[in-house]
Structure 1
Amino acid sequence: MRTRFFQALAAAAFGVALAAPAQAESLKIGALMPMTGDLQAYGEADVTGVQFAVKQINAAGGVNGEEVEIVIADTQTKPQAGVDAAQKLINVDGVHAIVGALSSGVTIPVAKTVTSREGVPQISNASTSPTITKLQDNDFLFRSVPSDAYQGVELAKLVQEKGFSNVSILYVNNDYGQGLADAFAEAFEGEVSASIAFEQGQASYRGELQQAAGGGAEALVLIGYPESGSVILRQSLEGGYLDKFIFTDGMKAPEIIERVGAQFLNGAFGTVPQAKDTEGLRVFREAYTAEYGDLPPKPYYDTAYDAAMVIALAAQKAGSSDPEAIRDNLRDVANAPGETILPGEWQKAVKLLADGQDINYEGASGSVDFDKNGDVPGTIGHWEIQDGKIVDVRVLN
């Protein structure tokens, strides 16, 4: 596992330490987020979700009597940059747990080469690739969002419901894009005339679009992120390739409307992991809007909030900020049985844990019941662009 400067220092001064009263190390959470790059449209909102959880916790007394600290690191939506940022969070900043990353293409290498080896729990609030379910991560990788094994099926049903029988897929060339494209294609009862991977950050996607437009496709299923996705949409329209668009969660951002134009995107639709209208969601919505105003028209700020909350609850139950102790208590605080804890009910949770009672956190994004693989159940929502705005239509499953 990892070594820390302060651990070595404590060992060297062991005799002095014995004379000092014991004090729990304050919990430090890393927010591993895309503040730049292809997913930067989501970074700020997701950081705010973590910050809101920590603000509520600290206002109610903190974890084990100490204030929680957040350290933010930028993945740049790139695997190597994400790995480097995670290593710094753990070995320089000394975080005890990490929320993030967003992109599955970043989360997976971070888990394989950093958090699983260093023994630090990592909860991704947005990585939906089915690959994560069976990843060899020493049980240090969790996620607060459901797998795309569900989203692909629900998207296929929705596309069929909308009357499309022949579509082409363009997907970002990483685990997220490949996994969701495969799940959709397997479930779709119509024809997928082409399924083409693309690389992030290209100046031109005209070659990929020319392939996608062949075979009689009626619409383009675009599985990507706002930066590269906006370029693809503009070039598809300018080149006369395809003008009907179907999206997934990675494209649910108002920035694409600003860059491409509402007149070209009105009627486009997609899917996204979305909570049912539960009591937890209602409590969170009321508190969030009181603090920040309107809810962001983007996903994953709620799952970021939930990830931070369960990390803090696990540390509270463990009576320690030790990373392995946090990992070992995540399922105990997030899964049934136990007294239900809703967003913001920190003092209630602390009292129940102090009394030796079991708790079951039901979050802003719904149930956070971690299974043996660190996955959670979830529901998928249908969203559309109407009159130049993103509108949540309904929960599908």
Structure 2
Amino acid sequence: MLPLVPVGLMMLGSNQACNEPRTIAADPPLVIGASVDLTKQKDFGAGSQRVLRVIEQQINAVGGVLGRRVVIDVRDDGGDNKSIAGIGRDFIDRGVAGFIGPSTTEALEVFHSDFKRAKIPILSPFTTSPIVPKLQEGRDRYVFRTACAADYQARAIARYALGGSFGPPGLIEVPVDAGITDSGGSSDANADADARPPADASPPADAGTTPPPFKACTKMAVIYAEDAPGRGNATIESLKAEYSKFGGFIKEFIVKANAATFATEVAAVVDATKAGEIECQTMLLFPADGGKYMRELRAATAGDATFAPDRFPSFGFIRFYQQGFIEAGRVDPKNTNELSKVDGVIGAACNQERATSPEWTRFAALYNSQFPPSADAGRLPSPIPQIYDSVALLALAIEKAGNLDDRVAIRDALYDVSAPPGDAFGPGQIAEALNAVREGRDIDYVGASGTFDLDDQGDTALEVILWRISGNGFVTIPGLSPNDLRR
């Protein structure tokens, strides 16, 4: 007989149901595989790993799944496709209940078909590329993209760059990694004052119509590394399609990831700008590469007003929405008195801090209870809710399936527990949600990152925001609503 471990219901200040404590079997555990990038994006990977530990501990604190302790086995996939095949084979051989990750679309392309053959669902909170929903067809799929689509990020960047209907930058909320504490004070004594609005700042009269604080750009450079040699980049193709639809022209500059220098590309961008061929730029690079490129661009154009942020705006995607990008723009990454060369960069990302959402509030409370704000918090990204939501959804689907043997039932249950109809449950309500499933009731998981409803293409329509780097942190650009990004 398996040893039994009694587990209390209350954990981390969560609002769990006041039911009798459940007893869960210590062994064998129910294993969920996961991979994050602890090599190229160490801080981002470490922050992602923390969120996985929060949901793992919460599930176990309320009795586990199917009466078993849940273990999330987290591996480092290196931020590329070199090691993921071996990681995937190991997880398949072990018969994991599901997989969270990987950190890149390139890695997902390598092993998704193996997981489909094994009927093991992949919930991918990091892969935003337009390629992802096309990897498998229709509802008979085992890949689910639980990140905000790059298509929507590209749409937001294209329309804003062209002088669209979004207001000027203003401080709405600042991620944890921007160095701002819950009380509004700085968690770093040297935090730049520009990370907060001036005392006399006033909101725009009409955030939906006020023009952006730079000259509208109709000629854009795109600086990116290809998905694979000769294949281009699916996210850039999405940006080109959206930008050209409104009369914009794009000139491409392909770089090599992790290059020792981007001097050649910088010189080409400078020459094209002076020739009148481009007026702004968008980068799709890893944070370290993006910071290095911007340092070299600023050095090459020092004293030239043509390349000031309001004359030559720079844009980026969700990869830049982390403190590591700001640090990469400094000669001394940790010197917060040094203004980063990425200051003024504008970008798009998932809305990771939905301040008006009770689901976000409960998620943040759970995270902060397990990982209180500390001196090293500035290194890590704001806690990423779609990671938490992915594990919670998988756990509820497994409980609904009733066993680990019927893999199709687990996959089908992902659709059932993610969307209406049914009683709504979210972060901090895992015990209630699991009990409802055991009672045979329909449920609708509403995540910290959004409604989290899975469609027939395995996609979630998560909210997108625009942000701008100011000093040592991020400010959110107001005026963008989900309806703005509909075709």
Settle same-fold status: TM greater than 0.5: yes
Q: 5 Å matches for 1:355-366? A: 355-366=439-450
Distance in 1 of aligned mates of 2:269 and 2:132: 28
Tell me the amino acid that sits aligned with residue 288 of structure 2. Answer: E
1:326 is matched with 410
CA offset at residue 352 of structure 1? 0.9
Distance in 2 of aligned mates of 1:348 and 1:57: 11
1:287 is matched with 366
3-state SS in 1 of match to 2:222? strand
1:259 is matched with 328
Percent identical: 24
Distance in 2 of aligned mates of 1:209 and 1:300: 34
Quickly say closer, same or farther: Cα 1:378–1:395, change in 2 above 3 A.
farther
Distance in 2 of aligned mates of 1:290 and 1:73: 24
Distance in 2 of aligned mates of 1:301 and 1:237: 31
Q: Cα deviations across residues 154-196 of structure 1 (Å, max 9, x unaligned)? A: 1112223333313211123128982222222222236444122
Q: Cα deviations across residues 338-389 of structure 1 (Å, max 9, x unaligned)? A: 1001112111112211221001000110111111111011211111111221
Task: Decide which moves more: 140-149 or 52-61.
Answer: 140-149
Distance in 2 of aligned mates of 1:311 and 1:364: 15
Distance in 2 of aligned mates of 1:177 and 1:293: 42
**Residues 33 and 72, structure 1, Cα contact 8 Å, conserved in 2:** yes
**Residues 290 and 328, structure 2, Cα contact 8 Å, conserved in 1:** no
> Which structure carries more helix by proportion?
1
2:242 is matched with 187
Quickly say closer, same or farther: Cα 1:355–1:395, change in 2 above 3 A.
farther
Tell me the amino acid that sits aligned with residue 30 of structure 2. Answer: L
CA offset at residue 395 of structure 1? 6.9
3-state SS in 2 of match to 1:265? coil
3-state SS in 1 of match to 2:83? helix
Quickly say closer, same or farther: Cα 1:385–1:356, change in 2 above 3 A.
same
- Unaligned runs of 5+ residues in structure 2 are 1-24, 164-211, 331-338, 482-487
2:428 is matched with 344
Quickly say closer, same or farther: Cα 1:24–1:228, change in 2 above 3 A.
same
Tell me the amino acid that sits aligned with residue 320 of structure 1. Answer: N
**Residues 181 and 195, structure 1, Cα contact 8 Å, conserved in 2:** no
2:31 is matched with 28
**Residues 341 and 359, structure 1, Cα contact 8 Å, conserved in 2:** yes
2:150 is matched with 148
**Residues 310 and 330, structure 1, Cα contact 8 Å, conserved in 2:** yes
Quick check: 1:107 aligned with 2:186?
no
3-state SS in 1 of match to 2:136? coil
3-state SS in 2 of match to 1:107? helix
Q: Cα deviations across residues 296-328 of structure 1 (Å, max 9, x unaligned)? A: 773672111111111111111112234443222
Q: Cα deviations across residues 185-242 of structure 1 (Å, max 9, x unaligned)? A: 2222364441223231221222233333315333321112112222222222233396
Tell me the amino acid that sits aligned with residue 372 of structure 2. Answer: G
Tell me the amino acid that sits aligned with residue 186 of structure 1. Answer: A
**Residues 122 and 143, structure 2, Cα contact 8 Å, conserved in 1:** yes
**Residues 265 and 388, structure 1, Cα contact 8 Å, conserved in 2:** no
Quick check: 1:171 aligned with 2:224?
yes
Quickly say closer, same or farther: Cα 1:27–1:177, change in 2 above 3 A.
farther
3-state SS in 2 of match to 1:111? helix
3-state SS in 2 of match to 1:365? coil
1:9 is matched with none
Quick check: 1:212 aligned with 2:269?
yes
CA offset at residue 263 of structure 1? 4.5
CA offset at residue 57 of structure 1? 0.7
2:464 is matched with 380
Distance in 2 of aligned mates of 1:194 and 1:266: 23
2:129 is matched with 129
Quickly say closer, same or farther: Cα 1:194–1:359, change in 2 above 3 A.
same
3-state SS in 2 of match to 1:382? strand
1:67 is matched with 69
**Residues 126 and 300, structure 1, Cα contact 8 Å, conserved in 2:** no
1:273 is matched with 350
3-state SS in 2 of match to 1:77? coil
Higher relative contact order (CA 8 A, sep 6+): 2
CA offset at residue 123 of structure 1? 0.6
3-state SS in 1 of match to 2:29? coil
Q: Cα deviations across residues 240-289 of structure 1 (Å, max 9, x unaligned)? A: 39664211101112122223233433222111021543221122122222
2:3 is matched with none
- Unaligned runs of 5+ residues in structure 1 are 1-21
Task: Decide which moves more: 81-90 or 334-343.
Answer: 81-90
3-state SS in 2 of match to 1:385? strand
Distance in 2 of aligned mates of 1:205 and 1:118: 43
Q: Cα deviations across residues 130-154 of structure 1 (Å, max 9, x unaligned)? A: 1112213650100211321211111
Superposition TM-score, scaled by structure 2 size: 0.71
Quickly say closer, same or farther: Cα 1:299–1:288, change in 2 above 3 A.
closer
CA offset at residue 23 of structure 1? 11
Q: 5 Å matches for 1:43-62? A: 43-62=45-64
Distance in 2 of aligned mates of 1:53 and 1:195: 41
Quick check: 1:229 aligned with 2:290?
yes
